[in-house]
Structure 1
Amino acid sequence: MGYTIKDTRHLKNILRADFILGGLTAFTGLVFFRPLEGFLGLSQPFIILVPLANILYATAAFTLATAQRNPSIPLLRLLIGANWFWTLLSVALLYVHYTNVTTFGLTTLLFQIVIVGTLAYLEGNQLEKMA
């Protein structure tokens, strides 16, 4: 069963947003991981892991957004799946760390759930199953 892209231009705009948000998160986390530990109430290894994962997401989104022709559907499906996985993982982290994190850490996890989940939905909505 194959897939086709509904609106390549719209999809590439979503992917650009995914790249920018992932890249900013990666940069912020890698540069400011020490002060973020106390500010967010999350462990330093976790704060370092998130930007490293975001580098992968941002790279995939950038590759898809800048493709000369239609973006690679297998890579797009991988990115969508990874975004859904990260959303679910963030929900689990929110549950596990709910009592340990600061208000800012809680807010960060909630934003991450909403933003990454929305990106996964919007990107997935641009795929259409071929008959």
Structure 2
Amino acid sequence: MDVTEKDRDVLARTLFGEARGEGLAGMVAVAWAIRNRVEDGKEKSWWGEGYAGACQKPWQFSCWNKNDPNYPMLSGAKPIPAAEFTMCRLAAEQVIVGLKPDPTGGATHYYATTMPKPPAWAAKATQTLKLGHHIFFRDVP
């Protein structure tokens, strides 16, 4: 699959919105959950096409919801702090080119432990990893 500059940028922005406080390992794990959606093996994926499509699919990554406090930075209305964004770009690139193996065991979903309660889908999914403030899952019904 060809990965465009837009794919790289949107993935890095998503990592900023979803995992900037999780360090490089946490960002890599979130990026792998996204890559696993991108590489689901379907010709026309429900998740959207490419990294940008998967990241910006409505209601999949809350940082892209227009009411999310991260949205102004992700959309470009406000600047993203350069020092933080550098690590997001590094994590995105490492996952895109395959420099870091998948620590999530094929996860396509995760949720933040800071949520008031787990999402309903988590009860019937297979947990694969708990890292920082995220719990990762595959086989989500």
TM-score (norm 1): 0.29
Structure with more relative contact order (C-alpha pairs < 8 Å, separation 6 or more): 1
- Is the helix fraction higher in 1 or 2? 1
Please tell me whether Structure 1 or Structure 2 has the larger radius of gyration of its CA atoms: 1
Q: Which has the higher strand share?
A: 2
